[in-house]
Structure 1
């Protein structure tokens, strides 16, 4: 391609791009004959669209006809060649040649206009319809006589089209050609030197047609001239240009025009024949001329939508070979012969009833190939429906909502769209559009009651059905499908989902585990009913579940405490009167109601005639006077029984000592033996706890010593540095005031009682003179005072420090082991309860 041609195409592309920007369109320019899959342009970038928008909007190309040369690649956002484009087949001689298409997007609906100019390539060589041209020219032909030649045909346009001719040889004839608007070149040979039949009867010339492409293409034809004798006048038309009109779809043999030419010759040399010489178009398929009288008539189908005018070139020839030419300009008159064509560009079959006004439902394109008033189209829809038809752009209409939709009143619509042109008579087309209104979830489920209450007995079976809740929804189908959900909450710190569950479909509330009345008396749960709409609607209701008690707990004896390490005995003096209160058995039952009513009975005793137990209060009293014959050591077994069905009971052993002095009691009770039950797991836990406590104690001592050493070193550094260290807050140790102020002048007495059993160790500042209950250690050591100290007569400061050190150490050890033992006992209790539950 030459530099000049390239410059012209660049200017043309720039012009199209500037025009597209002004009109809100995108224009491209591509050459014809591009291979399939070739890139046309990046439409996403040029339109400023995101690739996700192309996919979500279901982008597609709308051309308005069945021919699709361009395809859209949504993954890359580019336009590609779908079919090979032949500019000559697409546009013929029309310039510029362009494809017009639209990019349609949905959700929301939008479209963009795209113009693609098809530039010409030099892919066609000039050609002649016939293989040769023959003339019969008289030797007496006048110099300057013109002989019309068949022009060459080149489908290319512009610089690639036919540009020039060459004639060889040029002994007798010169070539003359000029451009004729609408009909290419008018090619003639002009006689420059007379013909001499006697010298040369046949003259052969070669006419070569050349285009302006790069490289140039050419075609040639031979001109055979037969030199005749005597014909010196050529035909002459009365007009060089004739004008005529014809209506489209005119019937065959309709006379369009009549041409006339005259020849001054006589006889055979004056007889004229008419012919049509158009070679580049389909004129000879639509019109014909009577070679005798010059009448031009219709022989094909005239269609205004294909061509609005025709140019017919007519040649008049006499038998001497002389010719003349003229042309007929035929204008085609349009008639209203095309109905509007309705094409659905985009359609939504279902629309929600809560759609806002001006929601686009359907977009249609209406085309009428007619012109003028015959091509103007108006569209309308049936009345009394909540829709309207709006004109979006030329030939594009959108059906939109213009009022509220109610599916309960009308669930579907049949919309008739009628499009009518303004021709006389007018033509119309119509289509029926079916549109369904979808339901919207606008009703929440409703329970039958505002709250529910039910009960279940404790120790129930897991999975037991407790209660059923039910709710209804006035919506339709999925929007009316109710599911039941247990809302998150907690009962005494426990998630409610670990107590009960609810069936999502039926609303049946099931027990997840067995309930214990002693742990929980009742609880509330909230059940939510949710429909299947989107978004879902819901309501909730409160359900109170009451746990009914069951006699599943035996009485527990609180006093006297049964100890495995020592014997606890109640001392009754032999001088006790009848009805003397020995002790009282205290028991509780964690059940409720009659299941917790307790009664006390004496099961067995060393002497049943000596003691009795109160049925309701558990008081053990003497029923007769104690005698010397009664044994010192008395053992009673008391049964505590509740009032449940069936009843449960517990037994407690009470040791009673009939004596007036402690030595007697000690001598008798040293032989008391108790059955000991050892539990391997409990022993392990006790050892482990003791080790942990000892470790913590050692760590604490080390930490205290470390702090003391650190402070001592700081003081040493302070005194050695001569107060040159940075200012550090220093607080001297506290000293007790033991001077003349009288601090600690009174006698300070204390008792420290220690045994091998840490639970028996005690530190008291005041000690009672007597006690009614005697603690006896099984190791044989009685509880006796260990150490008595008096601060009188000693150095006050040293004595106080010694006393306080002993007190602190004893107090610390006593509390330390007491707390450790209490913790171990609690662990043992928890362990035994866990074993019982398992």
Structure 2
């Protein structure tokens, strides 16, 4: 019976096909028979979630066992790990639910789901296998791991783009398990219908997105199972439509360079890279990353900040190990677009060596006529550092005519840059400073001393551009006048100056006859005594010559001005003093006070104050003065009215004195006739001159007449030319003297042949003033009032003519130029008619 039941169990199980479970029972049955142990198997099928205490089945009845056998055999259930689910009631032989069974917790997705039990009896030992199959109920709804999922999809996403949604989960199995999905709305997206229900599903874009029309989409994904009733689960899908990410980040430059000294501290900032994205929103957010393709040795040393792009040192660097690094840095936006740049990092050597200066060759002196670019010294400079730390440049002191050149690496030459001038600088102390290119730079210096040798390139230069000296006339020959001085900027023999008098003439006479110059001292001496009236000044040139080879020279003009001394007395030009005649000025008794009698004209050939003349009258203390003379202009005027008591004949003595120290003077005597008629004057002067003067002058005039007749024929041809030359020379003398010179010429007398009485027979041209108190002159013809010159022969002639009743007319014409404010005449005096006859 037991065998039949076992076979029926096997057949029951095999209704759904032969399985491993059936095979296991066959093997077990075989073993039972072999060991003579009673064996039986029973299978039950129950739904999940049965309540506690529910009956699975009556195993005693099903196995054909007596209830007493259960008790006697101490029947018991062996459930293994599932002891909490099923128990055996020995009293009635029922299998009961000890705890509610959840198939999903017990078997998950395994099907079929069964509990395998063994019921064991003792005395004799019997073993019965019991299988309890747990059937699934549709007690679980499908569900998603997330209640919502969010997407940010660019509006430029292409149709057909897929987006993974994941999958729903349903613990139930079979028809109660997950069955289908649905997506709403389906305007832009659809589900991939070909996806297996048990796999991850995808959402496919079937229509392009337009952010400007719809920026956000809300979708609902629903999962359904196949049970009865049909259960479902949902998940919300939020889609944010992004602006099209059509612009990739762009670096401001494709390559960046940075330098860092070796042994720099960790965290040292090297450089910053910068990229910009012209998109908006998240598309414009750029992050920076070192490319994965870069060697790990580089990424261990350098890092880049993902937000700021700052590249910093993250490890230790050593110049000797590596002096150059290259980083590839990417800039990525949120849409996955990117750009790259390179960062070149140079490691700088630490500058720890000073340049070493070595003078290879040097000149101690150089001629000032050396041309520019003349090499003075050769110098080698060595710096054991590398790179910029080993690059050396040298400089010298400023404001000196030298320069440093670099003919080759580490070699420097000191050369002249400008023309040298020993007179400006005779010695140079040149400091050469050599510095490397390190940071900070290290330097060293050396001093060079250079002498400049002289050449004769400077001519002597006088202290003045010209000299002027003054010397008094009548000096002693050999007198030292003054000294010239010239200097030569050269040195030694080139600066030794000698003085030479240049050959020239003064008024046709060699200048050496006037002055001499000392060759060594430059002292100028007078060779002769000078006369101011003959030579007022002269000039000559003095040459200064140095001792160079060839010698150079300079010259200067020296002017000697002769200073006047008062060595000449005044000379009276008018009135002219004659030895045998008397000159008389006629003053009418009716003349007013201030009447101009005459004017004394005198000159002094001296100059300056030595030629300043003053006039005064020598008066007797007992005389009541009738006349006075102007102290500056020499005009003689009346100082009172003429009275009857005044004598007809007045003799005045005028003293002309210069202003020299000591002063010199001259004296002139003037006869003045005070009368209203000519006979009165004639009688007065005839008595005085009829005696001795007649005899003395008669011989003189006879000899003069004889000589004139003898030479008359010879001189008649040249007389006109001689007279004109004479007049011209006289006018030149007067103009050159610059003095108020008025020559006096005796009046000429001619016989008019007119008969009459004496007072009416003589007419004279007299120069008078328009106002007796002024010096201005006016021509007037007065009868009987003129200047009269009387001598003995003329007296006899006049008496004879009177007896013969001949009328004599004498015409004198004397012209004066107008006077200046001082009363002196402003021009020369010209005599229109000059007759030497009497």
Instruction: Compare CA radii of gyration and give the structure with the larger one.
Output: 2
- Same fold by TM-score greater than 0.5: no
